[in-house]
Structure 1
Amino acid sequence: MIEQIRIDDAESKRILDLEESHYLDLKSADIAPAKLTEAVSAFANTAGGELFIGIDEADHNGRKIRHWRGFSDVEEANNHIQVIEAMSPLGTHYRATFLAADGRSGYVLQLIIFKTKDILYASDGVAYVRRGAQKQSVKGEEALHRLRLDKGIVSFEDETLNLDPKLITNSVAIIEFMLNVVPTGEPDTWIAKQNLVAEGKPTVAGLLLFADEPQAALPKRSAIKLFRYKTKEAEGNRESLAFDPLTIEGPLDQQIREAVARTKKLVEGINRLGPNGLESVTYPHETLHEIITNAVLHRDYSIAADVQVRIYDNRIEVESPGRLPGHVTKENILDEQSARNPKIVRLINKFPDAPNKDVGEGLNTAFEAMKKLRLKEPVIEESEHSVTINIRHTPLASAHDTVIAYLENNDEITNMIARDLTGIRSENSMKSVFLSLKDRGLIEPVPGKTIGGKAAWRKTKPKKR
Structure 2
Amino acid sequence: MTEKRRIIEEELTALFHLEEGPYADLKHSEIAPAKLSKSVSAFCNTAGGEIIIGIGESKTGEKARYWAGYTDMEAANAVFQVIEDMLPLGNHYKATFLSAEPNPGVLLHLIVFKTPSIVRASDGKAYIRRGAQNLAVETNDALRRLELDKGVVSFEDNPVVADNEVITNSLSALNFMLAVVPRSEPEDWLRKQNLLTKAGPTAAGVLLFADEPQAILPKRSSIKVYRYQTKDIGTRESLAFDPITIEGCVYALIKEAVAKTKEIVEGISKLGPNGLERITYPDDTLHEIITNAVLHRDYSVLSDVHVRIFDNRIEVESPGRLPGHVTRENILNEQFARNPKVVRLINKFPDPPNKDVGEGLNTAFEAMKRLQLQPPEIEETENAVIVYIRHTPLASPHDVVITYLQAHEEISNRIVRELTGIGSENVVKQVFLDLQSRNLIERVPGKKGSASAWRKVTASPGDGAADG
The reply to whether TM is greater than 0.5 is yes
CA distance in 1, matches of 2:362, 2:225: 24
Q: In structure 1, what is the equivalent of residue 215 of structure 2?
A: 216
What are the Cα deviations for residues 309-364 of structure 1, in whole angstroms up to 9, with x where unaligned? 00000010100000010000001111100000000000000000000024311111
For 1:281, the equivalent position in structure 2 comes to: 279
Bigger mean CA deviation after superposition, 290-299 or 401-410? 401-410
Partner of 2:89: 90
Q: What secondary structure does 2:63 align onto?
A: strand
What amino acid is the match of 1:459?
K
Q: Percent identity?
A: 63
* Contact 1:69 1:105 (8 Å CA) reproduced: no
| 1:112 alignment counterpart | 111
Seen in structure 2, the aligned counterparts of structure 1 residues 306 and 454 have a Cα distance that, compared at 3 Å, is same
Cα distance in 1 between the residues matched to 2:264 and 2:375 = 21
Tell me the equivalent position of 2:288: 290
**C-alpha contact (below 8 Å) 2:44/2:119 kept by paired residues:** yes
Which residue in 2 is equivalent to 1:418? 416
Pair 1:343 & 2:361 matched? no
Q: Secondary structure at the match of 2:190?
A: helix
Deviations 1:4-30 (CA, angstroms, capped at 9, x unpaired): 110111111111111112111111111
1:129 is aligned to: 128
Q: Measure, in 2, the Cα distance between the counterparts of 1:66 and 1:437.
A: 44
Number of residues of Structure 1 aligned to a counterpart in Structure 2: 461
The aligned counterpart of 2:14 is 14
Matches of residues 289-438 of structure 1 in structure 2 within 5 Å? 289-438=287-436
Mapped contact 1:223–1:248 kept (Cα < 8 A): yes
Residues 71, 77 of structure 1: 8 Å contact kept? yes
Task: Report the alpha carbon displacement of residue 429 of structure 1 after superposing the two structures with TM.
Answer: 1.9
- The 8 Å contact of residues 137 and 143 in structure 2, kept in 1 or not, is answered as yes
Match of 2:171 in 1: 172
2:125, 2:136 within 8 Å by CA — same for their partners in 1? yes
What is the alpha-carbon distance in structure 2 between the residues aligned to residue 444 and residue 105 of structure 1? Answer: 58
Find out whether 1:456 has 2:453 as its counterpart: yes
The answer as to whether partners of 1:375 and 1:394 remain within 8 angstroms in 2 is yes
Letter in 2 for 1:132: G
Deviation at 1:59, TM superposition (A): 4.7
Given the superposition, is the C-alpha separation of residues 106 and 449 from structure 1 closer, same or farther in structure 2, using an over 3 Å criterion?
farther
Structure 1 residue matching 2:81: 3-state secondary structure: helix
> TM-score, normalising length from structure 1?
0.97
Cα distance in 1 for residues equivalent to 2:160 and 2:325: 29
Match of 1:439 in 2: 437
CA shift, 1:455, in A, is 2.4
Runs of 4+ in 1 over 3 A off after TM superposition: none
Q: Is the contact between residue 343 and residue 356 of structure 2 (CA under 8 Å) also seen in structure 1?
A: no
**2-structure distance, mates of 1:463, 1:439:** 12
Could you tell me which residue of structure 2 aligns to residue 259 of structure 1? 257
Bigger shift: residues 370-379 or 404-413? 404-413
Worse-superposed segment, 403-412 or 240-249: 403-412
Q: Given residue 118 of structure 1, which amino acid in structure 2 is its aligned partner?
A: S
Secondary structure in structure 1 of the residue aligned to 2:240? coil
- Root-mean-square deviation (CA), in Å? 1.2
Match of 2:464 in 1: none
Amino acid at match of 1:461: T
Q: For residues 180 and 84 of structure 2, what CA distance do their matches in structure 1 show?
A: 49
Cα gap change, 1:102/1:445 in structure 2, threshold over 3 Å: closer, same or farther?
farther
Pair 417,156 (structure 1): closer, same or farther in 2 beyond 3 Å:
same
2:189 corresponding residue in structure 1: 190
Compared CA separation, residues 197 and 22, structure 1 to 2 (3 A): same
Which is worse superposed, 159-168 or 89-98?
A: 159-168
Q: What is the identity, as a one-letter code, of the residue corresponding to 2:162?
A: L
Q: Deviations over 1:97-121 (max 9, x none)?
A: 0111122232110000000000000
Structure 2 contact 93–110 (Cα < 8 Å) conserved:
yes
- Provide the secondary structure at the position in 1 that maps to 2:86: coil
- With 422-431 and 159-168 compared, the bigger mean Cα shift is at 422-431
State the match for 1:27 in structure 2. Answer: 27
Q: Deviations over 1:177-221 (max 9, x none)?
A: 111111111111111111111114010000011111100001100
Matched residue of 1:86: which SS? helix
Are the counterparts in 2 of residues 165 and 200 from structure 1 also a CA contact under 8 Å? no
